[in-house]
Structure 1
Amino acid sequence: MNIILALFILASAGLGSSGPQEGNLTAKLQASLNTAMIQGMHQNNSQGHGRTEGKGQGQNGIKPNTTAIDPQVDAPKVKGIYVTAYSAGGSRMNQLVDLLDKTDLNAMVIDIKDDEGYITYKTDNPKLKELGKSQPFIKDIKQLMKRLEKHDIYPIARVVVFKDTILAKKNPELSFRKSDGTVWTNGGGDSFVNPYSKEVWDYNIEIAKEAAKLGFKEIQFDYVRFPEGFEKRADSLKYTKTDQSRVDVVSDFVQYAREELAPLGIRVSVDIFGYAASVPAAEGIGQDFVKISKNVDIISPMVYPSHYTAGWFGSPVPDKAPYQTIKGSMEDTHKKLDELGEQKPIIRPWIQDFTASWLGSGNYAKYGKKEIEEQIRALKDTNVDEYLLWNASNRYTEGVTHK
């Protein structure tokens, strides 16, 4: 079990975002994971998913209880795309709006607080200006919202939560500090802020509430976790903490966010990497797939075929088997979440609309209409009728049937 968890935490280093932001990171991950171990990990977890069930309890001791109330029962079945703030505020938006007008795609996930921590539009909110920093890629946010409404595009605000270099630099006490008092950064130069901090929680919820006032219907939280490999440095870094486990702190934030946003009629969704549905909880980074899913309206596992190594779901090259890979990941997702009963959230995965050429010759397929439609077919065959397309440059494949 320790080996399994170690591999999972290693996987989180490359999979902890909504997409392949760093293709070379995924390539390193592919090279570093032992194929035989991964095959064993999946085999072990596909045979009952390591359940130890007591009377009235499921995995993780969670008891299915009252039905979660959807704050937006009239929301459409979302089929969306990821849109950077740069695209949303620039000329590429013309092409993206046209794409949605011509197809059954109906939603956009737009960066409102991005991966560095910038608020991507001009805000006059004193709380947000005090802690954060605006980088107005979206020059006229109100005009953007009017445009989305005119074209009947369902607006989802992406808010990157605990990966926040801007907040960490402005307020080191809200981050993780080294022994000399300087803010810790990961290998990519990014800093995280402390999930134990209620001030960090409220800052991100304030951003979400402002997005709601602007007209966004849903808030999608990303990087809802501690830094990858945190368990290796948890005792050497300086930060405020309580007696709560990292898993409980992260799931409590999600529950708090939902409680704050539901009265506004706003749905809450969370991104989580695809491996999470197939392996035990990643206690090092504080993510438990079931506990997080219990507290959201929508869960969005990132199940890009390119992010699975050889042997997953019986495929020697998962990237070349989009139907097989997506089908296997969704079957695992249902198994993991069925115990929640009526609290089971909508499953709306991120799927792949990019070519993972960094995997090297023979290890990837060129993704186009066929590969994307195979992923969609796999979703349909596993009773999943919502999805999001990821392409970091926002160049989406034309001619795809989005049924």
Structure 2
Amino acid sequence: MLCFFGLVGPYSVQAEQTELLKAKEHQNKLMTKKEFELPENLVRFVYNSGYTFEYPEDGVRGVYVTGNSAGGERFNSLLELLNNTELNSMVIDIKDDHGYLTYRPEEGSPYHDISQNFIGNPEKLMKTLEDNNIYPIARIVVFKDTVLAEKKPELSFKDNGKVWKNGRGEAFVNPFLKEVWDYNITIAKKAAELGFKEIQFDYVRFPEGFERRDEVLEYEGGDYTDGENNAQRRVAAVTDFVAYAREELSPYGVDVSVDIFGYAATITEAPGIGQNFSKISENVDVISSMIYPSHWTPYFGIDKPDLYPYELTKAYAKVENEVLSGLDNPPTSRPWIQDFTASWLGSGNYKRYGSEEVEAQIRALNEQGINEFLLWNASNRYSDGVNYKP
């Protein structure tokens, strides 16, 4: 629950803030949160977690951290990595790829039965991050959620009455339903109360290839049943979720970011999964495209992208810059880059990634004016000897 100083009945303040924000948005469409300051008499009512985290002056340079790593022995080595390099931020799983919370909320919480005790002491974790000047970002996986889908099949997609799962055994919940939105946004608010300064939403989309299943699977359309075609309904639902999440989180003073497929910036929109790069970018503070060279088929005239980390990253950055320059208030660009070896691509199609390949991607971004990045390695083992400011 929000704690507002000098006020009885926090809901009235939140409602008032919401109305102020709506009025301001009407006055200046797409104004970013950083440009908007609440009236002086309301500043004291913005949620204060009690921690002091400053946005890095020269930009976020971060690493991905699972709940297991954040609450286990691996954390010490990650802490050492950040204290001895130019890295300054951690993106920590709060709701993971399965749908589990990575820490135990209070007894009686509706989220207690979907939680895991990976992060045994969240308060200690946040204090350690504060003491070491590490900027904390909470990763929340939204619509890929096997746990919620199995618990409440009516919030998912069904095939012959059973929860539909993709080829990897993963289930998605339905982006058309506001109940699903609120479920995830409540978790995001809890993360803000823990002290995280940014909420990063991942899997903000329909399942891959949904356009081939939308007439076959059983699911509710929520408020998105009339008017536009199926593809545009999906785009509208995903975009509206992001805008709604940002509005709901505004009293917490956190930035909102979204992970998005890199190729989404290179096309008008990806209607199958409901992602429109420009529309999502208009509603976030940070956009984080996943541009791992290994994840591209031949693109930008590069036949085997994993072999050319610099060239692939540079080509992508040029396209993204062009798209973002067309927005009135573009978000900060902070791409996910590759610090893992994609051996599954097969001999001749991949190379071993280490300091040289990581630096090549960072250099390509920097040359295009993009100075923030996040490193992805699913096991949280990052390359030694990298110059993160080449």
TM-score range, shorter chain: 0.7 to 0.9
Q: Aligned with 2:34: secondary structure?
A: coil
Opposite residue 207 of structure 1, the aligned amino acid is I
Is the contact made by 1:128 and 1:207 (CA closer than 8 Å) also made in structure 2? no
Is the contact made by 2:104 and 2:117 (CA closer than 8 Å) also made in structure 1? yes
Percent identity between matched residues is 58
Instruction: State how far apart, in whole Å, the 2-side matches of 1:83 and 1:336 are.
Output: 30
The answer for the alignment partner of 1:161 in structure 2 is 142
Select the structure with the greater relative contact order (CA < 8 A; seq sep ≥ 6).
1
Is the contact made by 2:101 and 2:111 (CA closer than 8 Å) also made in structure 1? no
> How much does 1:170 deviate?
0.9
Matched, 1:216 2:199: no
Give the counterpart of 1:290 among 235, 259, 278: 278
Deviation per CA, 1:34-60: give whole Å up to 9, x if none. xxxxxxxxxxxxxxxxxxxxxxxxxxx
The answer for the alignment partner of 1:319 in structure 2 is 306
The answer for the alignment partner of 1:260 in structure 2 is 248
Opposite residue 191 of structure 2, the aligned amino acid is A
Opposite residue 367 of structure 1, the aligned amino acid is Y
Runs of 4+ with deviation above 6 angstroms: none
Matched, 1:139 2:120: yes
> How much does 1:387 deviate?
0.2
Instruction: State how far apart, in whole Å, the 2-side matches of 1:255 and 1:287 are.
Output: 13
> How much does 1:69 deviate?
2.4
Give the counterpart of 2:78 among 96, 110, 123: 96
Q: Cα gap change, 1:72/1:386 in structure 2, threshold over 3 Å: closer, same or farther?
A: farther
Instruction: State how far apart, in whole Å, the 2-side matches of 1:264 and 1:65 are.
Output: 21
Is the contact made by 1:290 and 1:337 (CA closer than 8 Å) also made in structure 2? yes
Opposite residue 345 of structure 1, the aligned amino acid is P
Give the counterpart of 1:390 among 368, 373, 376: 376
The total of aligned residue pairs comes to 336
The answer for the alignment partner of 2:15 in structure 1 is none
The answer for the alignment partner of 1:113 in structure 2 is 95
Instruction: State how far apart, in whole Å, the 2-side matches of 1:72 and 1:149 are.
Output: 26
Q: Cα gap change, 1:286/1:126 in structure 2, threshold over 3 Å: closer, same or farther?
A: farther
The answer for the alignment partner of 1:248 in structure 2 is 236
Give the counterpart of 1:340 among 300, 305, 327: 327
The answer for the alignment partner of 2:104 in structure 1 is 122
> How much does 1:125 deviate?
6.8
The answer for the alignment partner of 2:23 in structure 1 is none
Q: Aligned with 2:289: secondary structure?
A: strand
Instruction: State how far apart, in whole Å, the 1-side matches of 2:35 and 2:180 are.
Output: 24
> How much does 1:261 deviate?
1.0
- Comparing 64-73 and 376-385, the one that deviates more: 64-73
Matched, 1:375 2:361: yes
Instruction: State how far apart, in whole Å, the 2-side matches of 1:328 and 1:266 are.
Output: 31
Deviation per CA, 1:44-87: give whole Å up to 9, x if none. xxxxxxxxxxxxxxxxxxxx944322289962210000001111
Instruction: State how far apart, in whole Å, the 2-side matches of 1:319 and 1:290 are.
Output: 26
Deviation per CA, 1:337-381: give whole Å up to 9, x if none. 22112x210000000111111111111111111111111110110
Instruction: State how far apart, in whole Å, the 2-side matches of 1:368 and 1:293 are.
Output: 31
Instruction: State how far apart, in whole Å, the 2-side matches of 1:128 and 1:394 are.
Output: 30
Q: Aligned with 2:300: secondary structure?
A: helix
Q: Aligned with 1:398: secondary structure?
A: coil
What is the root-mean-square deviation of aligned Cα atoms in Å?
A: 1.7
The answer for the alignment partner of 1:192 in structure 2 is 172
Is the contact made by 2:88 and 2:134 (CA closer than 8 Å) also made in structure 1? yes
The answer for the alignment partner of 2:213 in structure 1 is 233
Deviation per CA, 1:101-145: give whole Å up to 9, x if none. 001100000110000000110012745427x60111111111111
Q: Aligned with 1:70: secondary structure?
A: helix
Opposite residue 309 of structure 2, the aligned amino acid is P
Instruction: State how far apart, in whole Å, the 1-side matches of 2:88 and 2:36 are.
Output: 16
- Comparing 292-301 and 317-326, the one that deviates more: 317-326
Instruction: State how far apart, in whole Å, the 1-side matches of 2:175 and 2:339 are.
Output: 32
Give the counterpart of 2:31 among 60, 67, 71: 67
Is the contact made by 2:355 and 2:384 (CA closer than 8 Å) also made in structure 1? yes
Instruction: State how far apart, in whole Å, the 1-side matches of 2:107 and 2:296 are.
Output: 42
Matched, 1:330 2:311: no
Matched, 1:177 2:163: no
Q: Aligned with 1:248: secondary structure?
A: helix
> How much does 1:325 deviate?
0.6
Q: Structure 1: which 5+ runs fail to align?
A: 1-63
Is the contact made by 1:71 and 1:267 (CA closer than 8 Å) also made in structure 2? no
Opposite residue 87 of structure 1, the aligned amino acid is S
What TM-score comes out, normalization by structure 2 length? Answer: 0.83
Opposite residue 102 of structure 2, the aligned amino acid is T
Is the contact made by 1:71 and 1:262 (CA closer than 8 Å) also made in structure 2? no
Instruction: State how far apart, in whole Å, the 2-side matches of 1:280 and 1:125 are.
Output: 46
Is the contact made by 1:128 and 1:206 (CA closer than 8 Å) also made in structure 2? no
Instruction: State how far apart, in whole Å, the 2-side matches of 1:167 and 1:217 are.
Output: 26
Instruction: State how far apart, in whole Å, the 2-side matches of 1:168 and 1:246 are.
Output: 19
